[in-house]
Amino acid sequence: MLTYQELIQQMNQSMLAAEPDRVGLLCDVLDQLDHPEKQYQIMHIVGTNGKGSTGTLIGNLLINTGEKVGHFASPAIHNDREQIQLQNKMISETDFVSTYEKIIGKLTADFKMNQLSIFEWFVIIMLQYFADQGVSWAIIEAGLGGKYDATNAISAPIITIVTHVDLDHTMILGNTIKKIAYNKSDVIKPNTTVFLAPRQSQDTKNVVEQRIVERHAQSLIDTEYVDIKIDSETTNGFDLEISSHELRQTKVHLGMLGEFQLDNLKTVISLYDWLIQDGYVSNNNLIGDILKLTLSQTKIAGRMQIIQQQPTVILDAAHNPDSTKRLIESLKRIYPNQKLKFVLGFLQDKNYLEMAHLYEAVADEIVVVTPDNLQRAIPAVELHEVITNSKVVDNAQIGLSQLLTRSNLDDVIIVTGSFYTIKEVEIE
């Protein structure tokens, strides 16, 4: 039997999403496997920002109500197996290999391993693993876009969630929000209920509404109806008052930082309403208590994550201009008088020029690094030419250590720019 490391090394490491009809190939694979994804209920999540937070909150809510939940999300921070989680525990090396071998045993003799990229293998293994483990719900986040993403090979999900859509991966998805919305909304399938996260552009709304009609989806739920009032905001999160179809001026604590999380929370609350109204969970005091527990206890690695105090160190995986603006807004509001220092590392296929200028405008000090993805990273020396007052260091861990030695106790250090940058810093 192969070891996990041997199997990963043998897999095709190329990005094949841009090649024609990858989704069609994956559909053929799922046909041969008798569509394992039909054995459980699916929530499919697409969007530019907010997929991870939305998916994690919904997953934890369902787990706390007694459901068996699988969650697929990318990219991973420390271990690729983090992408496939069952009840918030990543798939074991043994289960990963045995699931792969089960799949290979069902495919035609002429099928070769390298026909699929490593990401496509993770998707297929995830779908089969969740079936084998008997999950009741699978929360599946798209990796890149929607139309050509490997997760689009699934059969019609019960729920499709479109989180905030903005400019990102423009070389692949298109250079306007309308084009990106078309790509992402391609995942909408017949009879699915579509949830549209708040604060969308009119182009995104128009495209999603058009897709729903074209694809004979069941309905559209605009999450703007959820009303959230901020009672207080601290470094421990938000104290909020929420009103929705099932909540009446309900006091909750959200243990996550960043006002952008309130948009994600509106989506989660609208799903909470839907789960009750459609009979998936019962509306009683217990479910309300479970919601409050879920919101207060959920923490998400790499999203406004404080890993140290005095000086404060924050990890945030903001990797496009939209998420960068939201991060800076949150930092200014929570730390209005503190010095802000940044460890920055970007991928060259992102709009790093705009992000660099945004950080430069608010930073007291910047060190630049080359993210741990040599194929896609912009070298730190090139980033230094954009941010001329920055210092070049070898990696994010060294950059953080140097800033710590030069910081006062009330300074704030932020490691950001890419998942591949923050993953170099140990997360507790």
- The phi, psi pair for 196, rounded to 5°, reads -110, 115
Q: What is the predicted pLDDT for the residue at 166? A: 83
**For 71-80, 276-285, 315-324, 409-418, which range has the lowest pLDDT when averaged over its residues?**
276-285
Q: What is the predicted pLDDT for the residue at 150? A: 94
Q: 16-35, pLDDT tens digit by residue?
A: 655 668 899 999 999 999 99
Q: Minimal CA–CA distance to 345: which of 361, 366, 365, 321?
A: 366
Mean pLDDT on 301-329: 91
114 phi-psi bin (left φ>0, alpha ψ -120 to 50, beta other): alpha
Specify whether the CB–CB gap between 143 and 47 falls below 8 A: no
Residue 372 confidence (pLDDT) above 60: yes
What does each C-alpha distance from 46 to 149, 161, 197, 279, 314 come to in angstroms? 10, 6, 10, 25, 26
Query: From CA 73, how far away is CA 45, in angstroms rounded?
Result: 10
Q: 163-203, pLDDT tens digit by residue?
A: 999 876 555 666 688 999 999 999 999 999 999 999 999 99
Q: What is the predicted pLDDT for the residue at 17? A: 59
Specify whether the CB–CB gap between 176 and 151 falls below 8 A: no
* Percent of the chain residues past pLDDT 70, beyond the cut: 95
Please give the residue that has the higher pLDDT: either 327 or 173: 327
Q: 41-73, pLDDT tens digit by residue?
A: 999 999 988 999 999 999 999 999 999 999 999
User: What is the rounded average pLDDT for all residues in the chain?
Assistant: 92
Specify whether the CB–CB gap between 189 and 57 falls below 8 A: no
Q: What is the predicted pLDDT for the residue at 255? A: 94
**What is the edge-to-edge ordering of all strands in the sheet holding 237-243?**
227-234, 237-243, 250-254
Residue 14 confidence (pLDDT) above 80: no
Q: 194-249, pLDDT tens digit by residue?
A: 999 999 999 999 999 999 999 999 999 999 999 999 999 988 999 999 999 999 99
Q: Minimal CA–CA distance to 419: which of 367, 337, 350?
A: 350
Specify whether the CB–CB gap between 34 and 164 falls below 8 A: no
Q: What is the predicted pLDDT for the residue at 81? A: 96
Please report which confidence band the pLDDT of residue 428 belongs to, taking 50, 70 and 90 as the band edges: very low
- Please give the helix or strand (H or E) that residue 126 lies within, else none: helix 118-132
Q: 112-128, pLDDT tens digit by residue?
A: 898 999 999 999 999 99
For the whole model, what pTM was predicted?
A: 0.90
Q: Minimal CA–CA distance to 236: which of 306, 319, 311?
A: 306
Query: From CA 61, how far away is CA 276, in angstroms rounded?
Result: 12
Query: From CA 27, how far away is CA 36, in angstroms rounded?
Result: 11
Residue 139 confidence (pLDDT) above 80: yes
First to last CA, the chain: 34
**For 13-17, 106-110, 384-388, 398-402, which range has the lowest pLDDT when averaged over its residues?**
13-17
- Please give the helix or strand (H or E) that residue 63 lies within, else none: helix 51-64
The overall longest dimension of the chain from CA atoms, in Å, is: 65
For residues 165, 144, 139, 219, the Cα torsion angle rounded to the nearest 10 degrees is: 40
Specify whether the CB–CB gap between 151 and 72 falls below 8 A: yes
Mean pLDDT on 279-305: 87
Please report which confidence band the pLDDT of residue 283 belongs to, taking 50, 70 and 90 as the band edges: low
Residue 190 tokens, joined:
């017949």
- Delineate the domains of the chain, giving CATH numbers in brackets: 4-297 (3.40.1190.10), 305-422 (3.90.190.20)
Packed helices 177-185 and 202-214: angle between N→C axes, nearest 10 degrees: 30
Q: Does residue 54 sit in helix, strand or coil?
A: helix
Q: Minimal CA–CA distance to 217: which of 197, 191, 240?
A: 191
